[in-house]
Structures are given as structure tokens and as C-alpha cells.
A and B are shown apart, each in its own frame.
Chain A
């Protein structure tokens, strides 16, 4: 008689067994050797679960905390800086392109990117004046805000990546990302303003 392999034995333990386990179960019903083996595998698992929990030797929170705080500050500073630049760049573009009757395709996309960046910056400024971090937030708003913040952070991350691409691809990617960012920023400002209106009633 051929006994079950370890994998067949362990398969029998699975809640959703594979079709092959039907014949394995039949064998198991009549074979004491395999029954013993299955029981031993259960004991082994029970022993693994009973192993002591290993404890962290030191408190890592202070390090984690400072990294989290630094990350937030960097993000804010970077976008303050880049946002300011964006506005300056879009004004420069406007001045440069303003007098020309026809713009080349590259200039078109640069101008479009500049517009999206400027819009994003305007919304950022509006939000900055409103100072959301100094206000009390209810749980549902906090959830929506946190979700939008996370998506904005993800767009920001992708923008950094896109900045390293080749010119043509980069312009397309940048334009699409900046437009996404404007949409998200707009939603974020709306969430804050809606809450402010409701609170004011």
C-alpha cells in the first residue's frame, strides 16, 4: 500500500480541499499509519502555535515618530516650494508665449502643465489660509480627508518619478498627473469648505 505524501496529508487539513483529496480521505479512513502521521502534523502545528512570543528589545516609537513628522514637514515644504515655482513658471510661460500667434506642440503641453500646476497651487494656497489642521474634525470628514491626502501623496510620488522620464513621455505623464492633483485638491478644499459651512449653520 502506498501511503500519503506529506502534501496529501496537509491538503486533507485544508478547509477547501482539492479534488484529489477525496481519494486521500478514503485511504486515510482505512490506514492507521497515515492517521498517525496526520495526528503528528496537527501536534506539530499546535507546538508551533505554543512557541513563546518574542519581544522587541527596545522601544522604536521615538525613531518612527521623528521620521513620520519629518516626512510630513518635507512633503509640505517641498510642495510649498515647488508650488511657488509652478506659479512663477506658469507666469513666465504666459509672458513668453503670450505674444506668439502659434505655439509648438511642446509649448502647448508645457503651457497646459503650467496651468494645471498654477490651479493646484491656488487650491493649495486657499487651503493653507483655511488652516484645516487647526480645526476640529468629525470622524467621517477625517476619513474622507485622509483618503484624499493619501491619494494626493501618491500623485506627488508619481510626479517625482515622472520628472525623471524622457521629455515627450514626461510631458504627457506630468500633464495627466497634475490634472489628477488639481481634481483631488479641489475635492479636498470642497470637503473642508462644506464642513465649515455646515458647522457655521
Chain B
């Protein structure tokens, strides 16, 4: 989620300074984007330690390769940093291979079972219960606004993989949130 907490001093000049390697300009960028990157990483990785690692890896990459950043202004810098963060977070969940126990259930159609309604949990708990992949897809698509094409590319998967993961995530959330069944 976008935090909107950006330093007012982070203009094109300071971005240029950062590109030439100025360490205090790089710190300005860190300050402007640490919240955005951590929040994204935390939603995808769940564990605070993993999110911290992603935050660190993201800014090491930002500092080392900001010279390759070709855009100007806040908007494109935000998109550039966010993409690095998303890639690092996805890399981490791939590496960690969390146990995806809920992958065992089948969910091609909305569940109408009473047992799901009985579960009723809040949204925070529900998204944390999703498999890593499904959670990452629903977050990147619904909250961060990435297209299925972009998500597929970042994950090294197809567009239809991203679409089916999103549908799967919505079916599960629907059940876990105890939304009224309409039969």
C-alpha cells in the first residue's frame, strides 16, 4: 500500500545526486520509501524478520543500481523501487518454501459450505492464512495494482497462473471471512 509519506525535498536534483553516488541523497531516498517497501514486504512475506531482510536487500540494490534508473520524478522512482521490493519479496517466499498446507484444498467454485461461515476470521488473519503465492498475487494485483502480465513476469509464471491464483485467493478469503452464501 502506498503510504504517501514522501520527503518533500526528494526532487529530481536529489535523485540525480543519488545517481552520482551521493550517500546522503541515497539516505533521503531510503527515508522516503522505507515504509512503502517494508509494508509491501511484510504483506508478502508475513514474518517481520523476512520483511526486514527484504527492506535491506531492496535498498542495497537501489544504492548499487540507481545509476541504471532512467526515469525522472517521484512517480517513476516509486514504481522502480516498488518493483525491486516486490521481486526481492517474491524471491524470498520462493526460497523459504513455507508449508502451503491450504494448497491441498480444491476451490474452483465459491464454497457454499456452512463450516466456512463458522470459521469467520478477520481480514488480516485471513490473508495470512493464504498460501505464499496466492497472498503475493492478491496483494500485488488488488492492492498494488500490478497486472497479471506483470505479476506473471515477476514470478516467472504465466498470465493464467496469476489469474487462477487470484481467483483461488478470493474464493478462500470469501469463505474465511464468512461472507453470506447466496444460493
Contact = CB atoms under 8 A, between A and B. Distances in A.
A142 B123 contact: no
A188 B27 CA distance: 26
Contacts of A55: 35, 38-39
Contacts of A69: 23
B128 to A, nearest CB: 11
Interface string B109-145: 1100000000000011001000000000011001100
Contacts, number: 128
Interface residues of B, number: 56
A10 B163 contact: yes
Given A54-B43, A67-B60, A142-B17, A149 B67 contact: yes
Interface string B163-179: 11011101101100101
A17 to B, nearest CB: 11
A10 B170 contact: yes
Contacts of A65: 23, 26-27
Given A48-B139, A48-B142, 6 more contacts: A51-B43, A56-B34, A61-B34, A61-B59, A146-B20, A147-B67
Interface of A: 5-7, 10-11, 14, 33, 36-37, 40-41, 44-45, 47-49, 51, 53-58, 60-61, 63-65, 67-69, 71-72, 137, 139, 142-143, 145-147, 149-150, 153
